[in-house]
């Protein structure tokens, strides 16, 4: 019977939760990619803590993921996650954040966590808009876009979040779009497995509030097709002229470093060295 | 633990040693005068006691990391001054809403704004009570000496753990930077150290939040599948932001958890109150001047008593109301322009005369003679 068949990821979902998003939202793809990555790694779900802040991305783990979830204030998820990880380094700590949450109100925590190279996995769902509050401009909104707070067009420059993570010291950085669900799954698994600050930038569609900005209102398939056509793998970037790369989304694993010391390891060594009275 | 029996140390250093005795294993902080010595000493001491120190990028991050640490099972603390408290307020609200035990030390300085970093002021009495949005209750303790910075930091951890809530230690420049002899406990094993109640079974049907009896905490990493949110929630952490009844329960359980247990939390200290006609009501560093004034007054056979609030919040209105029945006049001494004064007037409700006395120059220590002259004027 069909009703007897359980979704292979059902065991990760907190009983009693309903996954609610707008039609066509990319959150479901991100939730599945993350849970598949965890399944593939054969990790004990009880050993993973998810921390998220305010905005649509915050609802990917909370309350639906059936493990410890901490849903906090706007922009501060990484700061809370830092306290969790430093106190119990055995736990895998994964942060979900939107582009506004991570790079506007929470930008400071993002760059400093990368600088410290603390073992966190930060997954940013970058839909280039404030979706939860219905369509205001974000630091990631393309120039000249007309949003509810840029009715004459966005005058500001945009953040490249992966570049920011790389410059600040992240040891693993990957960017994909929701079109690249399989690649995302692999990179998220690598990010969780890797000791150090790992950053996943997932370009995602918000058909309701960003779709209308680019003339694709409520049209998730067109937005995802555009992700496909605009994406170019980092390994192929050299074949592009500067002009034609402006409009492209560079995807792939952008940073994968193995040499840098990780913060919780350094602290444990220090405890061993200076510890006196337990 | 300290093996020597006494030390001649700053209040801020005594605070750190008290925290370690209480079992503090996590400190996150950001440099700020006049609290920086706490972070500096913690940066040395935490790793010695198998703990963690981190200097964060700002105070928002300090308090956030402390909340995260507490959910991962550690006794955790931060220390700052008024500007840092201002920055922390939103996340302090989350700590209250999620019932997170932790200690916040506020070494108060002159304000508003950048103010005067090394001039003492009791400027944050109200901001710690009402600084974050919404309706809630806090616990705050006001030490008046380095010895009390040691003793009351231990006590602050104990009541934070017991009631699963943030507790403020409200020092100021005078107490934080003052050096005095501090006596350490004779026997550390005889100290009362309270540890939070943790949920014992992942399958337990017992609530995890919102009990006036204090619900057991589902610490991370134990398979409790804790569902922790700053949004309005029920006893199991389930968010519900549409039903006013759920919000009513959420707010009332959180506040009543403190208010129903006032008798266990509130501490006052009374000197020469038996036959006092005039009462000096004070808290924190100001209590030292109040006590000195009472001693001088008694030598001159003026019937003055000292009534000190050791805990300022929750406010002891019943105790003050009862006390006021037997006295003629209450002089509220505060190193500010009267932050608890309205609360005292409300508690006394006309049963005695209530007057506010600030120092002649805000931020200067109360001169006992200045207070004594005011008492004589009153007589």
Higher pLDDT pick, B377 / A127: A127
The distance of Cα A224 from the centroid of its chain, to the nearest Å, equals 17
Distance in Å from the first CA to the final CA of chain B: 51
Query: What pLDDT, in 10s, does the model give residues B307-323?
Result: 999 999 999 999 999 99
What CA–CA distance (Å, rounded) separates B308 from B314?
14
pLDDT of residue A1: 66
User: In this model, does residue B379 exceed pLDDT 70?
Assistant: no
Question: d(Cα A70, Cα A55) in Å, to the nearest integer?
Answer: 14
Instruction: Identify whether A277 is part of a domain.
Output: no
Strand partners, B171: B107
In this predicted structure, what is the pLDDT of residue A277?
Answer: 56
CB < 8 Å to A53, chain B: none
Instruction: Please answer yes or no on whether A63 and B74 come within 8 Å at the CB atom.
Output: no
Which pLDDT does position B378 carry in this prediction? 73
C-alpha span between B39 and B46 (Å, rounded): 10
Q: Which residue of A has its CA nearest to B65?
A: A83
CB pairs under 8 A between A and B: 142
Which of B68, B76, B230 is facing A71, going by the closest CB pair? Answer: B230
Whole-number Cα distances in Å, B256 to A121, A277, B141, B212, B215: 38, 39, 19, 6, 13
Q: For residue A11, is it within any domain?
A: no
The model's confidence at residue B4, banded by pLDDT at 50, 70 and 90, is: confident
Total structural domains in chain A? 1
In chain B, CATH 3.40.50.970 covers 6-190
Query: Given pLDDT bands bounded at 50, 70 and 90, which one contains residue B219?
Result: very high
Q: Any idea what DSSP says for residue A136?
A: B
The verdict on residue A18 lying in a domain is no
Residue A84 lies in a domain: yes
The verdict on whether omega for the bond into residue B112 sits within 30 degrees of 0, i.e. cis, is yes
- Closest chain A C-alpha to B207 CA, distance in angstroms: 16
**Strands lying side by side in the sheet with A121-126:** A231-233, A249-256, A172-177, A198-203, A121-126, A92-98, A48-52, A68-71, B227-229
CB contact under 8 A, B1 and A277: yes
Of A14, A73, A278, the CB nearest to B90: A73
pLDDT digits (tens, 9 = 90+) for B321-355: 999 999 999 999 999 999 999 999 999 999 999 99
In terms of DSSP bridges, do strands A172-177 and A249-256 run parallel, antiparallel, or are they unpaired? antiparallel
A276 part of a folded domain: no
CB B128 within 8 A of CB B106: yes
DSSP 8-class letter at A103: I
Positions of chain A with pLDDT under 70: 1, 240-246, 277-278
**Topology of domain B269-378, CATH:** Rossmann fold (3.40.50)
CA distance A59 to B241: 14
pLDDT value of residue B321:
98
* Inter-chain residue contact A109 with B52, CB threshold 8 Å: no
Nearest to B82 by CA among B52, B113, B55, B42: B113
Structure tokens at B351: 């049963």
Q: Where do the CATH 3.40.50.920 domains begin and end in chain B?
A: 269-378
What is the phi/psi pair of residue B348, to 5°? -75, -35
Cβ pair A83:B220 closer than 8 A: no
Q: In the 3-class helix/strand/coil scheme, how is A227-262 assigned residue by residue? A: HHHHEEEHHHHHHCCHHHHCCCEEEEEEEECCCCCC
A-chain residues near B66 (CB < 8 A) = 83
Domain contains A1? no
pLDDT in tens, B170-196: 999 999 999 999 999 999 999 999 999
Check residue A18 and give its pLDDT.
83
Residue B364 to residues A54, B92, B120, B143, B166, Cα–Cα distance (Å): 44, 30, 7, 18, 30
Can you list the alpha helix ranges (DSSP code H) found in B106-196? Answer: 125-130, 146-163, 173-177
Say if the Cβ atoms of A83 and B73 lie within 8 Å: no
Residues in chain A with CB shorter than 8 Å from the CB of B238 are 16, 63
Q: Mutation test of the interface with chain B: which of A20, A64, A80, choosing the one with the most B Cβ atoms within 10 A?
A: A80
Pair of tokens at residue A86:
């430093």
Determine, yes or no, domain membership for A216. yes
Which residues in chain A are closer than 8 Å to B99, comparing Cβ atoms?
none
> What CATH number should be reported for the domain holding residue A59?
3.40.50.970
Q: Which residues of chain B does A68 touch, with a Cβ-Cβ cutoff of 8 Å?
A: 71, 218, 220-221, 224-226, 228
For the domain made up of B6-190, the CATH class stated in words is alpha beta
Provide the shortest C-alpha distance from residue B227 to chain A (in Å).
5
The CB-side HSE value for A263 (13 A sphere, CA atoms) comes to 25
Report the distance separating Cα B197 and Cα B205, nearest Å.
Answer: 15
Q: Structural domain of residue A55, as residue ranges?
A: 30-236+245-267
Question: Which chain B residue lies closest to A105 (C-alpha atoms)?
Answer: B60
- Give the DSSP H or E segment for B119: none
The reported pLDDT for the residue numbered A56 is 96
Rg over alpha carbons for chain B, rounded to the nearest Å, is: 21
């Amino acid at each position: 019977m069909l009703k007897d068949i359980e979704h292979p990821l059902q065991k990760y979902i907190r009983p009693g939760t309903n996954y609610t998003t707008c039609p066509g939202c990319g959150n479901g793809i991100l939730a599945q990619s993350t849970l598949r990555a965890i399944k593939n790694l054969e990790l004990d779900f009880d050993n993973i803590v998810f921390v998220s802040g305010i905005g649509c991305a915050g609802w990917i783990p909370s309350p639906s993921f059936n493990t410890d979830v901490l849903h906090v204030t706007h922009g501060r998820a990484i700061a809370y996650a830092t306290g969790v990880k430093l106190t119990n380094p055995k736990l895998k700590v994964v942060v979900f954040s939107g582009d506004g949450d991570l790079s506007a109100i929470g930008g400071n925590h993002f760059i400093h966590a990368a600088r410290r190279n603390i073992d966190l996995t930060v997954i940013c769902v970058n839909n280039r808009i404030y979706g939860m509050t219905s369509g205001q401009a974000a630091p990631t909104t393309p120039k000249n876009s007309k949003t509810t707070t840029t009715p004459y067009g966005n005058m500001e420059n945009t953040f490249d979040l992966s570049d920011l993570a790389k410059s600040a010291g992240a040891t693993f950085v990957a960017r994909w779009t929701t079109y690249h669900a399989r690649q995302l799954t692999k990179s998220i698994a690598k990010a969780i497995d890797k000791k150090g600050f790992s950053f996943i930038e997932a370009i995602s569609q918000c058909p309701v509030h960003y779709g209308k900005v680019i003339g694709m209102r409520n049209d998730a398939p067109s937005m995802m097709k555009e992700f496909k056509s605009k994406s170019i793998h980092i390994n192929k970037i050299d074949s592009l002229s500067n002009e034609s790369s402006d409009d492209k989304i560079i995807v792939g694993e952008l940073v994968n470093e193995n040499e840098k010391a990780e913060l919780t390891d350094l602290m444990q060594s220090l405890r061993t060295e200076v510890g006196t009275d337990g | 633990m300290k093996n020597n029996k006494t030390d001649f140390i700053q209040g801020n250093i005594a605070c750190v040693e008290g925290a370690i005795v209480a079992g503090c294993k996590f400190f996150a902080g950001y440099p700020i005068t006049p609290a920086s010595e706490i972070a500096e000493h913690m940066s040395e001491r935490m790793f010695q006691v198998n703990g963690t120190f981190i200097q964060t990028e700002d105070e928002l991050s300090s308090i956030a990391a402390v909340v995260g640490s507490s959910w991962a099972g550690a006794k955790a603390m931060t220390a700052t001054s008024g500007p840092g408290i201002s920055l922390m307020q939103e996340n302090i609200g989350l700590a209250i809403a999620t019932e997170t035990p932790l200690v916040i030390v506020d070494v108060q300085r002159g304000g508003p704004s950048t103010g005067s970093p090394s001039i003492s002021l009791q400027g944050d009495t109200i901001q710690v009570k009402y600084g974050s949005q919404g309706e809630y209750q806090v616990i705050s303790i006001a030490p008046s000496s380095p010895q009390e910075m040691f003793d009351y930091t231990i006590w602050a951890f104990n009541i934070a753990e017991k009631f699963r809530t943030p507790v403020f230690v409200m020092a100021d420049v005078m107490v934080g930077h003052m050096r005095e002899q501090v006596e350490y406990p004779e026997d550390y094993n005889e100290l009362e150290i309270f540890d939070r109640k943790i949920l014992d079974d992942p399958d337990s049907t017992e609530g995890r939040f919102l009990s006036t009896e204090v619900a057991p905490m589902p610490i991370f990493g134990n398979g409790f599948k804790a569902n922790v949110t700053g949004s309005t929630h029920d006893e199991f952490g389930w968010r519900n932001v549409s039903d006013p009844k759920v919000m009513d329960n959420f707010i009332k359980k959180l506040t009543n958890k403190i208010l129903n247990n006032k008798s266990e939390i509130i501490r006052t200290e009374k000197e020469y109150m038996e036959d006092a006609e005039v009462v000096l009501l004070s808290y924190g560093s100001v209590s030292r001047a109040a006590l000195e004034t009472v001693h001088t007054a008694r030598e001159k056979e003026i019937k003055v008593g000292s009534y000190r609030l050791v805990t300022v919040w929750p406010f002891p209105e019943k105790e003050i109301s009862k006390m006021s029945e037997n006295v003629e006049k209450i002089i509220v001494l505060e190193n500010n322009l009267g932050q608890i004064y309205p609360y005292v007037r409300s508690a006394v409700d006309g049963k005695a005369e209530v007057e506010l006395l600030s120092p002649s120059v805000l931020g200067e220590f109360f001169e006992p003679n200045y207070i004594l002259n005011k008492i004589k004027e009153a007589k």
